[in-house]
Amino acid sequence: MNTRIPARRLGQSALAFRPRATYGTTPSRSISLLPWKKAKGKKKAPKKGTIDPNDPLANPMLDRWFEKHNPKAMPQPPEPRTGTLSEHPTSLWKPEMEIPGYRDGMNPQEVQALKEVVEQRKKAVEAEREHALHALRLDPAPRARRRFERKMVIRDVSRQQRITKAIKIARTERQLLFRSQDLPISTKKLTRLMHLIAGKTIEEAMVQLRFSKKRIARDVLKGLQVARDEAIAKRGMGLGPASTPLTRHKQKQELKKLVHDAAIEAAAKAEQAGLNEEEKLWAVKDAKNRAKVEHIEKAQDEDPYMADGSNVRPWTKGGQLVELRDGTKKRVHDPTEMYIDQAWVGKGDESKSPEFRARGRINMLTHRSASKLFSLIIIIIISDRFSVLLKEEKTRLRISEEIQKKRDNRKLWLPLVDRPVTSQRQYCLW
């Protein structure tokens, strides 16, 4: 027979059976001078979760009810049942059955070749999908691009493959336009720095900015370094003269000769030392490797660039003397060296604010940059940005040749025209 007793009444039922004392007693406590030691005669407390039958307040029914209805216990989800396909030879669900083109009776070599074909097909599909995803950014308007290409082809055919001078220059010479971010400085102060670096090479301009006393020169120097790095990475500028097949062949022949001479010298030394055949082979091999390493180190020592990208080119008397547009002359040592062809200053971002006047009139004030309000004081930060156009010394060489060619082709100036005298008479003609 089951009895239904509320939970709040279970604790009261146990207290009802506790014997009550009819007189007052003083409880005895064991006092210990050492608090970290247990007092003598004190019983150990029962472990948590166990029922002490000698406890007068123990209620086994209440304890079992709390064990079954623990509010802190979180429900645990059931463990998922996992399984794999059977790998038995006679199983219907073999992994090879999912390969397109698989059939029973194929040997392992045919199965492996079929797997390789399927893998290549998957890679091709992934490449097509990747190309389609990149086309959203690289080729957003394919129809417009095809129309433009068709237009350019028709133009080339109509001109019989003749190109203009501007197109030829754009195909043969490199350049990069760099625009800096807004700098907190006036236009006049920044213009002075642009006049300072215009026409100089990258290295000369960086040296001038490094030792400049102006505060903004440090920001211009950082921007010039970024422009130089972008020109090298994006346009391939300033990488030195391109290696032709002839120069590469000469370098290979030089390396081969060095290795051959080192091997002959090592073999002669090993013969004099009286080494056996195996030791001779190792000595020759070490000599060859040492010659290759020395050749690489020599090439690295001749590299004109430092760790920070600065170009350290020793002063030489060679080079080609070129004439600039302003009549000055300059000696060019490396045709691929970068220089600042143009440098100018532009205004930064502008903002407008209303100025309320009398009789309902409003004037719009234009600020060079955003105005900021601090404790009822309007602070207007004037900002500007600079732009530099980087080119290679090839451009200066071409300009110098054009100036010289124009000077050579000009007609000779004559103070008196050398022509026969006409209308000769013995009388005056006035």
pLDDT at 93 (0 to 100):
65
pLDDT at 177 (0 to 100):
96
Residue 373 pairs in a beta bridge with 378
Question: What would the 3-class secondary structure string for the chain be?
Answer: CCCCCCHHHHHHHHHHCCCCCCCCCCCCCCCCCCCCCCCCCCCCCCCCCCCCCCCCCCCHHHHHHHHHCCCCCCCCCCCCCCCCCCCCCCCCCCHHHHCCCCCCCCCHHHHHHHHHHHHHHHHHHHHHHHHHHHHHHHCCCHHHHHHHHHHHHHHHHHCCCCCCHHHHHHHHCCEEEEECCCECCCHHHHHHHHHHHCCCEHHHHHHHHHCCCCCCHHHHHHHHHHHHHHHHHHHCCCCCCCCCHHHHHHHHHHHHHHHHHHHHHHHHHHHHHCCCHHHHHHHHHHHHHHHHHHHHHHHHHCCCECCCCCECCCCCCCCEEEECCCCCEEEECCCCCEEEEEEEEEECCCEEEEEECHHHCEEEEEECCCEEEECCEEEECCCEEEEEEEEEHHHHHHHHHHHHHHHHHCCCCCCCCCCCCCCCCCCCCC
| Residue that has been written with the tokens 């290979």 in this structure | 252
Contacts of 186 (CB under 8 A, 6+ apart): 382, 384
pLDDT at 376 (0 to 100):
36
Distance CA 1, CA 348 (A): 92
pLDDT at 334 (0 to 100):
86
Low-confidence ranges of the chain (pLDDT < 50): 1, 15, 21-25, 30-39, 370-380
pLDDT at 426 (0 to 100):
78
Question: What are 32's two structure tokens?
Answer: 């210990």
pLDDT at 372 (0 to 100):
38
Nearest to 354 by CA among 376, 334, 371: 371
pLDDT at 370 (0 to 100):
45
Q: Which tens digit of pLDDT belongs to each residue from 166-206?
A: 999 999 999 999 999 988 888 899 999 999 999 999 999 99
Specify the amino acid at residue 349.
D
| Residue that has been written with the tokens 């006035």 in this structure | 430
